[in-house]
Structure 1
Amino acid sequence: MLYQVGALTFRVSTPNIHEVELEAAADYVAKDVIGVLRPLESVGEGESMLTLRGRLFPRKWGGTSSLDLLERMRVSGEPQIVVRGDGRNMGWWVVARYREQHSYLGTNGVGRQIDYEVALKKSPKAATALGYFSTIMRLIG
């Protein structure tokens, strides 16, 4: 396992990830002081983004159902638990943006190569019990 996002497991096989980018920030407020550089006061954690990039070859190995699952996670707006392959719990994240690009289109309009990117935004709260239930129901159908 490379990463687990909610119910979706990214593996070395399909669906895989070939690039991960983590951007974390801290928020500060500047205080006005006469005659010196304005000191900064930490006001907490800033916005964090986790971007996962991968590539599918659906005619050889499938994986398009995983892309559908990512889209359903985005639409639900529910926080998803993210776990890295080494077991590190990265906390709760929402799917803020999802993009896919099809290349070498087949006769059905699906690309023989699909590049995708999932941008996750850190969530300050976990999913609610109702959120869990609705997510499971969306996954089922």
Structure 2
Amino acid sequence: MSGPVTMSLGLYAFEAHGFGYTDITRSLTTAWSSVDVVDRIEVLQWTGPKSEAVSIKGVLFPAEFGGEDNLEGIRAAAQKGEPLMLVSLDGGVFGEFVIESVNEERAYIDPRGTLRKNAWSIELKRFEQAGSGQSGGASQSIGLF
């Protein structure tokens, strides 16, 4: 391990040095439906969250700081289709995510074939079990009668 852990995806720790990240992007999409109303402009009705995505980018310098093992572990988890818990150092639990893609840009290969720089990105999407979402008000009301 190289430096303090700042975030983890399952068992794979992002570190201050080594397998570190440079950027995190979060995106939340929600859905709204238009409802026609007589003698008024249409109204909007919120139908709930649609998806949440996280993009993590970083650069490895494997000869100097390591980190390739974690990236390969994340690649293997992606191939198995395993949902992984995303947790930050400050105690933030983002929830379970699946890995949609792992991209690498390998550069500066020395004459011995040693990789000197690997810019990478990981695209994640929130994982929800079927039926694990909160039920809407209508279905809750039906249960009362």
Normalising by structure 1, we get a TM-score of 0.82
Cα deviation, 1:37-91, whole Å, max 9, x if unaligned, reads 3211111112111111111001111111111111111111121111011011111
- Aligned-pair identity in percent equals 22
Equivalent pair of 2:63/2:114 in contact (CA under 8 Å): no
- Pair 1:8-2:25 in alignment: no
Normalising by structure 2, we get a TM-score of 0.80
Distance in 1 separating the partners of 2:52 and 2:114:
33
Q: Secondary structure at the match of 2:58?
A: strand
What is the RMSD computed on CA atoms of the aligned residues? Answer: 1.7
Out of 18, 22, 25, the position equivalent to 1:18 is: 22
Range moving further from structure 2, 70-79 or 113-122: 70-79
Matches within 5 A, 1:1-141: 1-107=5-111, 109=113, 111-125=115-129
Query: Which has the higher Rg, Structure 1 or Structure 2?
Result: 2
Unaligned runs of 5+ in 1: 127-141
Task: Specify whether residues 54 and 124 from structure 1 end up closer, same or farther in structure 2 by C-alpha distance, changes over 3 A only.
Answer: same
Aligned length: 126
Q: Could you say which structure has the higher strand fraction?
A: 2
Distance in 2 separating the partners of 1:73 and 1:37:
49
Distance in 2 separating the partners of 1:82 and 1:6:
6
